[in-house]
Amino acid sequence: MKKIVILGAGYAGMICAVNLQKRHMPFTLINKHSYHYFTTILHEPAGGRNDFDDYSVDITYLLDSPTSTFSKEEVVEIRPHDNKVVSKSGEILYDLLVVALGNAPEYFGIAGLAENSLLLRSLESAKTIRKHIEDQIKLYKEDHNPAHLKIVVGGAGLTGIELCGELSEWIPQLRSNYHILEEVDIINLEAAPMILPMLDAALQEQARDVLTKKGVQLRTSEKIVRVNPGEVELASGEKVEASTIIWTGGVRANPLVAAAGFTCDPRGRAKVNEYFQAEGFDNVFVLGDSACLLGADGKPYPPTAQLAQQMGEHCAKNITGLVLSDHPLKPFVFHYMGTLASLGSEVGVGNVKGIKTRGVPANLLKEASKAKYLFNLGGFRLLADKRGQFTR
């Protein structure tokens, strides 16, 4: 039997793993944490909603068959010419490799940004943001420095906008808990002239209306060009002081992908064919945010969770067919389901299969998509165990 190794337990790697497990295909999954977390909804606990435990699941809870092996290790190098992966604790040989190592922040070379901003990209970073914001409120009680009451979120893509929606609900609670009468500014700075560029103009306007009414300051056409400790500099020359600066300005591939020598696009994503094979390496499948997969229009698909999940499932089917019956690989066809953005815990905006939705229905659809993911991953058992996600 061929040795199958999956690197990374994000959306792509985890869905690939559970689908191989369903087909009784032996594999080894390697991940640096012992748990899988739900990246696209981390704005909820980061912004004060629910318990952190509701946003991750132990990998061994999901992989419970004797044909599945999980190894908690950090990969440091991929050597595709030697069919070998190097981790902090040794070397692992493979016949077939699935690279699903996710993304890294894109800083666009902006001076001081990496050093002076927080990120929302992992369970730990979500905890850091929540604690940091609460700490600023406590500090304000002591020193009355107004910078503690200013939160800057850089970028108005899904991550930035959904986080602002959460903060707009949590901050009033925090102010009340700590008896702060002064306003806390939530300032979103976006370089482009619009927010949520993946939605059409009418939906963007609806999202803007909702968030503005909730007190979020949405400042578009404001490019961040430099970040100093506690201060953001804009292209206009204006400086915005804030004790909390969160960067949600974009992602690139995990740097291990380019370091492995795969042919990559400018965002460090390995160029792959319709079977996800990396150029020149038929036994290496690159999935999710680490892959540059072209759509029918010749442009790379943007890195989304739904693409990662569909790639993971398709890859598992292809690998099973290849290993068990030497079936030719089937080309991948992406089924775009739509995009939904939550704007706090009650309302949202987006489109589903081409139909526009907003307000409470959009939020309910978003909640349904969260439930569907949990079900696909771990059936009713996981859905029941993570029901805390749906409490507010």
User: Least distance to ligand NAD from the beta carbon of 33, Å?
Assistant: 19
User: Least distance to ligand NAD from the beta carbon of 188, Å?
Assistant: 9
Verify whether residue 106 is a known catalytic residue: no
Determine, following the binding rule CB under 6 A, whether residue 379 of this chain makes contact with ligand NAD: no
CA distance 124 to 69: 25
DSSP SS3 for 182: coil
Q: Minimal CB distance to ligand NAD: which residue?
A: 157
CA distance 169 to 251: 26
Determine, following the binding rule CB under 6 A, whether residue 224 of this chain makes contact with ligand NAD: yes
CA distance 133 to 254: 28
Secondary structure (DSSP) of 211-228: HHHTTEEEE-S--EEEEE
From 12-20, 123-131, 170-178, 249-257, span contacting ligand NAD (CB under 6 A): 249-257
Determine, following the binding rule CB under 6 A, whether residue 40 of this chain makes contact with ligand NAD: yes
- Is residue 234 exposed (0-12), middle (13-18) or buried (19+ Cβ within 10 Å)? middle
The secondary structure of residue 332, as a DSSP letter, is P
Determine, following the binding rule CB under 6 A, whether residue 191 of this chain makes contact with ligand NAD: yes
**Any idea which residue has 């089917």 for tokens?**
317
* Complex with ligand NAD: residue 83 or 128, whichever CB lies closer: 128
Determine, following the binding rule CB under 6 A, whether residue 188 of this chain makes contact with ligand NAD: no
Query: Which residue in the set 215, 250, 300, 321 belongs to the binding site for ligand NAD (CB under 6 A)?
Result: 250
From 64-72, 81-89, 247-255, 325-333, span contacting ligand NAD (CB under 6 A): 247-255
User: Least distance to ligand NAD from the beta carbon of 264, Å?
Assistant: 17
Amino acid letter, residue 139: L
* Complex with ligand NAD: residue 12 or 158, whichever CB lies closer: 158
Query: Which residue in the set 139, 192, 294, 382 belongs to the binding site for ligand NAD (CB under 6 A)?
Result: 192
CA distance 210 to 339: 17
From 47-55, 123-131, 190-198, 266-274, span contacting ligand NAD (CB under 6 A): 190-198
Residue pair 390/373 in contact by the 8 Å Cβ criterion = no
From 13-21, 171-179, 301-309, 371-379, span contacting ligand NAD (CB under 6 A): 301-309
Token pair, residue 51, equals 């318990």
In three-state form (DSSP H/G/I as H, E/B as E, the rest C), the secondary structure along 230-263 is CEEEECCCCEEECCEEEECCCEEECHHHHHCCCC
Determine, following the binding rule CB under 6 A, whether residue 112 of this chain makes contact with ligand NAD: no
Determine, following the binding rule CB under 6 A, whether residue 268 of this chain makes contact with ligand NAD: no
From 151-159, 210-218, 312-320, 353-361, span contacting ligand NAD (CB under 6 A): 151-159
Secondary structure (DSSP) of 280-304: TEEEEEE-GGGEE-B-TTSSBPP--
Query: Which residue in the set 45, 154, 344, 378 belongs to the binding site for ligand NAD (CB under 6 A)?
Result: 154
Catalytic residue (one of 91, 124, 134, 162)? 162
Say how many residues touch ligand NAD, by CB under 6 A.
25
Query: Which residue in the set 45, 48, 112, 157 belongs to the binding site for ligand NAD (CB under 6 A)?
Result: 157
Query: For residue 149, what are the contacts with CB-CB under 8 A and spacing of at least 6?
Result: 136, 137, 140, 180, 182, 183, 184, 185
Cα distances (Å, whole numbers) of residue 8 to 88, 94, 256? 15, 15, 12
Active-site annotation, residues: 162
Contact positions toward ligand NAD, by CB under 6 A?
40, 108, 110, 154-160, 189-192, 197, 223-224, 248-251, 302-305
